[in-house]
């Protein structure tokens, strides 16, 4: 790509943005914080495994509500939005007749670098690296007709369910045999050692010790790309369909779709999630059988249906004069999604980790949503204040400037 071609490319202008996408990003940020807070307050690898059997009373109730309504629903929403962003960039490049692949590859490699720095030096629960690695595959699907993206997205999304049933069937058949039980027991021990090592490093270790532990935990987390990469990429394709079909920019033209998502998909998703909890409230690393596979499958189905249901309700609310204004307040936070996501990690690790204020495992589960709401509320205010003066958030400016190989105008008066 020549320098002249690169100069012709530029980030999307504020006036050209789809506001609903910014609102959805802000909404997703809140959900991500509610989900991730358990992994900030305690060991990362112990978060997201279901209900904590040690909790009682209000802590138990909050843990259940977060698990059913939040866990797994918002990284899928962020994945959906990532696919939307890809489709918006692709459409703009097609309309202008300019090359796209080179800029997109550079954008993805930069996101991968940001994710690696985040995971190793700040917090091991990073999702950016998985997004970046999966994002490169989107280029191969770019020429496909829009109607194909829905079916391919759903098909790819459910691939892990087949894998899990295969493993669950093996577990049910081989459970009780010496070889299987020994292998599963070893996996359970390794995970427990990893959790205890995280507890020691993050609660009272130095920054260097915590960084070494983050490096090890990140390697373990990245191994999950063979399973959850399908989920992420499937949502990417669904997000691309929402943009290419016009469903996100012109929701009034898709009333039946959004009605079905609100009144059918969301309730079915909630029922599937409740059934998953009833089957297996807490995932055990040392046990795997068909019952656990079914609980996992129901959870994946619930994550997809509830995510899409949440999108439909947000879109419905944005069409209401009562809700459009308060929901619109989320848009500035959504425009600074990368900055705010990284700020979650910086603030929370400073508060909870031993090399910071040292409140590791000291915030009760019942108070974690309150903490998340306060922190996110401050981010909404700061984002609004920042964007009243600047075009981009700090990390968004850096990402775009490096992607387009030239510093972007930052102050609004320069736009």
190 C-beta neighbours (distance < 10 Å), count? 13
Supply the pLDDT for residue 187.
87
pLDDT in tens, 189-241: 999 999 999 999 999 999 999 999 999 999 888 888 888 999 999 999 999 99
What is the residue-averaged pLDDT of the chain? 93
The answer to whether the beta carbons of residues 91 and 142 sit under 8 Å apart is: no
Supply the pLDDT for residue 3.
37
Q: Inform me whether the pLDDT recorded for 411 exceeds 50.
A: yes
Supply the pLDDT for residue 343.
98
| 3-state SS record for 200-215 | HHHHHCCHHHHHHHHH
Supply the pLDDT for residue 415.
44
- Rounded distance, CA 294 to CA 157, Å? 16
Q: Inform me whether the pLDDT recorded for 95 exceeds 80.
A: yes
CA 35 to chain centre: 9
Q: Could you give the 3-state DSSP secondary structure of residue 50? A: strand
Share of the chain above pLDDT 90, in %: 83
Note the pTM of the prediction, 2 decimals: 0.93
Supply the pLDDT for residue 16.
52
What average pLDDT does range 80-99 have in this prediction? Answer: 91
- Rounded distance, CA 333 to CA 341, Å? 10
Supply the pLDDT for residue 94.
86
Sorted by sequence, the CB contacts under 8 Å of residue 164 that are 6+ apart come out as: 227, 293, 296, 297
pLDDT in tens, 152-190: 999 999 999 999 999 999 989 988 788 888 888 898 899
Task: At 86, list the tokens.
Answer: 């890809």
Q: What angle do CA 313, 324, 82 make, to 5 degrees?
A: 55
Q: Choose among 113, 119, 116, 93: nearest CA to 104.
A: 93
The least confident of 46-50, 76-80, 333-337, 385-389 is: 46-50
> What single string gives the DSSP state of each residue in 368-399?
HHHHHHHHHHHHHHHHHHHHTTBSS-HHHHHH
Identify the bridge partners of residue 133 per DSSP, sorted by sequence position. Answer: none
Q: Any idea where the domains of the chain sit in the sequence?
A: 3-407
Supply the pLDDT for residue 1.
34
- Rounded distance, CA 142 to CA 237, Å? 10
What average pLDDT does range 78-102 have in this prediction? Answer: 91
Supply the pLDDT for residue 12.
52
Give the confidence band of 248 by pLDDT, cuts at 50, 70, 90. Answer: very high
CA 181 → CA 188, 269, 289, 296, distances in Å? 10, 33, 12, 20
Please tell me which residue, 92 or 242, carries the higher pLDDT value. 242
What average pLDDT does range 279-292 have in this prediction? Answer: 90
Cβ-based burial of 386 (10 A; exposed 0-12, middle 13-18, buried ≥19): middle
- Rounded distance, CA 336 to CA 383, Å? 7
The least confident of 27-41, 103-117, 283-297 is: 283-297
């Amino acid at each position: 790509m020549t320098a002249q071609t690169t100069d012709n490319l530029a980030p999307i202008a504020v006036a050209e943005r789809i506001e609903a996408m910014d609102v959805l990003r802000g909404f997703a940020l809140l959900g991500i914080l509610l989900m991730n807070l358990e992994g900030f307050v305690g060991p990362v690898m112990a978060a997201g495994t279901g209900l904590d059997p040690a909790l009682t009373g209000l802590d138990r109730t909050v843990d259940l509500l977060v698990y059913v309504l939040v866990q797994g629903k918002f990284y899928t929403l962020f994945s959906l939005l990532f696919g939307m962003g890809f489709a918006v960039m692709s459409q703009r490049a097609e309309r202008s007749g300019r090359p796209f692949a080179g800029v997109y590859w550079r954008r993805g490699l930069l996101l991968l670098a940001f994710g690696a720095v985040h995971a190793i030096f700040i917090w091991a629960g990073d999702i950016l690296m998985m997004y970046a690695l999966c994002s490169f595959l989107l280029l191969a699907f770019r020429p496909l007709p829009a109607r194909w993206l829905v079916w391919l997205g759903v098909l790819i999304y459910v691939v892990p369910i087949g894998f899990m049933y295969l493993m669950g069937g093996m577990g049910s058949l081989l459970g009780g045999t010496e070889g299987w039980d020994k292998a599963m027991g070893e996996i359970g021990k390794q995970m427990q050692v990893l959790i205890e090592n995280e507890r020691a490093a993050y609660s009272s270790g130095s920054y260097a010790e915590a960084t070494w532990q983050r490096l090890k935990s990140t390697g373990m987390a990245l191994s999950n790309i063979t399973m959850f990469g399908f989920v992420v990429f499937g949502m990417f394709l669904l997000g691309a369909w929402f943009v290419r079909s016009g469903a996100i920019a012109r929701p009034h033209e898709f009333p039946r779709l959004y009605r079905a998502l609100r009144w059918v998909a969301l309730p079915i998703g909630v029922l599937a999630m409740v059934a998953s909890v009833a089957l297996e409230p807490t995932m055990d690393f040392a046990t795997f059988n068909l019952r656990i596979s079914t609980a996992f499958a129901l959870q994946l189905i619930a994550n997809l249906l509830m995510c899409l249901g949440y999108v439909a309700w947000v879109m419905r609310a944005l069409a209401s004069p009562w809700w459009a204004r308060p929901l619109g307040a989320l848009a500035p936070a959504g425009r600074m999604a990368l900055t705010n996501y990284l700020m979650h990690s910086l603030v929370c690790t400073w508060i909870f980790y031993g090399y910071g204020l040292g409140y590791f495992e000291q915030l009760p589960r019942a108070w974690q949503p309150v903490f998340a709401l306060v922190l996110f509320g401050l981010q909404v205010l700061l984002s609004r204040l920042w964007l009243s003066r600047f075009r981009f958030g700090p990390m968004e400016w850096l990402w775009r400037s490096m992607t387009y190989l030239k510093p972007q105008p930052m102050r609004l008066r320069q736009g």
